[in-house]
Amino acid sequence: MIFLTPLLILFLFFILTSTVFIVKQQSAAIVERFGKFQSVRGPGLQIKIPLVDRIAGRLSLKVLQLDVVVETKTSDDVFVKLKVSVQYRVVDSKVFDAFYKLDFPQDQITSYVFDLIRSQVPKMKLDDVFSKQDDIAVAVKQSLGEAMDEYGYFIVKALVTDIEPDAEVKIAMNRINAADREKTAAQYEGDAARILMVEKAKAEAESKRLQGQGIADQRREIAKGIEDSVGTLGSVGINSQEASALIVVTQHYDTLQSIGGETNSNLILLPNSPQAGSTMLNDMVAAFSASSKIGEAMQKENQKISSSPPKQVVSKKPQAPEFGEFENETINLTEYIPACV
């Protein structure tokens, strides 16, 4: 009896452990009875008949991921490697199909991905593979979803995570990209230079327009001043020819005075024609005559304004010589220059 007690305890422990089992969260247990499917047990504490029922297997109901690397060739004869990531899980209501219909789901998914990629990518060029990788992923998900649904698996998502062309092609693509960037940079620099030239030309045009406007205004004011001077001289009996001669001579001597004021000036003014000297002499004679008339008019005006008669100062005015008298005589111009100044 003493020896039967430990055996009884061991037997009861064996019966207890064979009867009760635990299923973890997000998983399912398949129970068979004498080798035949009995039931699918969910998470929690479960009971089975010892020595009759057994746990045939367990399946995870979590989302699983499988990475598949496929090497193929594009339509422009470029070898390329694509890395496709497939996320899948067992459908809760199809645990029986997932357990009994498919032993190795990873191998099945890999085969479908290989078949689909090698049927789609060879129809595309390399650039299209890069630009349409989302379309490739959608096609993989759709095709796998239809195929794996029969086995109790649901394809959550498919992603093309990497596209790696041949090493030589990659180097060539890098050179092309660098050349495109340099071309784009050159275009931007050219546009900037062109804009700068246009703006500079606009600024120069505006400057010349303003300069021309200033010159025009200056000439307009000069002409207005000359017109006023001629009108003022005409009011004292000087005709327009004599007034013009006086203005020319005055400007001539103003120019000589400004040149003489420059200590470092070495400018020499010469007549530009053989008749220039005679013309200047005639202008000087006319200017002297006009200056005398102006002096007489100012003297008469002062006599009218003054209340007391001014003292008469007799002075000998230099007489303007006739033009013919200069032929055989030397003229002292210092006698006439003060008269015009």
Residue 61 in contact with residue 115, Cβ under 8 Å? no
Tens digits of residue pLDDT in 144-180? 999 999 999 999 999 999 988 887 877 877 788 788 8
Mean pLDDT in residue range 246-266: 66
Q: Which of 147, 165, 183 is the last residue of a domain?
A: 165
Name the CA dihedral angle for 331, 335, 337, 340, rounded to a multiple of 10 degrees.
-120
Is the per-residue pLDDT at 261 higher than 60?
Answer: yes
Residue with tokens 């422009």: 76
- Whether residues 253 and 329 share a domain: the answer is yes
Residue 138 maps to a domain = yes
Domain boundaries, position 283? 236-260+271-307+317-340
Tens digits of residue pLDDT in 284-299? 666 667 667 776 777 7
Helix (H, G, I), strand (E, B) or coil at 83: strand
Residue 101 in tokens: 């219909």
Tens digits of residue pLDDT in 129-150? 888 989 999 999 999 999 999 9
Residue 42 in contact with residue 23, Cβ under 8 Å? yes
Q: How far is CA 159 from the centre of its chain?
A: 35
Residue 192 maps to a domain = no
Residue 190 maps to a domain = no
Residue 231 maps to a domain = no
Q: Which of 141, 165, 189 is the last residue of a domain?
A: 165
Mean pLDDT in residue range 71-99: 91
Which residue in 48, 2, 49 sits closest to 22, CA to CA? 48
Q: Which of 132, 149, 165 is the last residue of a domain?
A: 165
Residue 198 maps to a domain = no
Q: How many domains does the chain have?
A: 3
Residue 134 maps to a domain = yes
- Whether residues 54 and 104 share a domain: the answer is no
CA distance readout (Å), 63 to 81, 88, 91: 25, 6, 10
- Whether residues 245 and 157 share a domain: the answer is no
| Structure confidence at residue 338 (pLDDT) | 39
- Whether residues 134 and 108 share a domain: the answer is yes
Tens digits of residue pLDDT in 89-122? 999 999 999 999 988 899 999 999 999 999 889 9
Helix axes 276-305, 240-261, angle to 10 degrees: 100
| Structure confidence at residue 235 (pLDDT) | 67
Residues with Cβ < 8 Å from 182, sequence gap 6 or more?
none
Q: How far apart are the first and last CA of the chain?
A: 162
- Whether residues 127 and 35 share a domain: the answer is no
CA distance readout (Å), 168 to 78, 165, 287: 10, 8, 95
Q: How far is CA 139 from the centre of its chain?
A: 39
